[in-house]
Amino acid sequence: MKKNKFKSTTILGVRVGKKVALGGDGQVTMGDIKMKSKAIKVRDFSNGSVLAGFAGAAADAMSLFERFEGKLEEAHGNLQKAVVDMAKDWRTDKVLKDLDALLAIMDNKNSYLLSGSGDVIEPDGQIISIGSGSGYAIAAAEAFIEANVKNPKTIVHKSLTIASEICIYTNNEINILEIK
């Protein structure tokens, strides 16, 4: 039986107008042991117009990022088509099907959560998150948005910092990418 490794990080994306920021903490854990504190779990695609982050097994996520990049190129930058095509492959491909990761993907208009079971979820609102600290990060981000904070990078940084203070699988070595 495969172990669920999704609890080992926090990825948070926020959109305010057409500005987007997606960030993640740097902690890598194996069970209850911290193995690394400065991993980079977010990446940009399509000349910085698409951002993605992962939760789960790092090697699996790197394979998924490569495959997603190919799908995005095939779709000529059409994020929705690339995500749907990726989900179809992930659900049916014998190798991909066993990969243990979740992806959070955003551009300046759309947000998607993508899983190996073929799920494509387009969250409501302007916040997207995966990983063990998601609930904390989402709550903090919603509070900052309600308090009229307009800079998504600031919201992501402060929210991930709060999550790192609560979630033992999330640290404060935060990497953030932006679409302006």
Whole-number Cα distances in Å, 93 to 21, 59, 114, 143, 179: 31, 17, 15, 40, 32
Q: Rounded distance, CA 158 to CA 137, Å?
A: 9
Q: Rounded distance, CA 74 to CA 11, Å?
A: 26
115 burial class (0-12, 13-18, 19+ CB within 10 angstroms)? middle
**Cβ atoms of 41 and 53 closer than 8 Å:** yes
9 noted as active-site residue? yes
CB atoms within 10 A of CB 94: 6
Residue 147 corresponds to which amino acid? A
Catalytic annotation, pick one of 9, 10, 29, 170 = 9
Q: Rounded distance, CA 134 to CA 3, Å?
A: 19
Residue numbers annotated as active site:
9
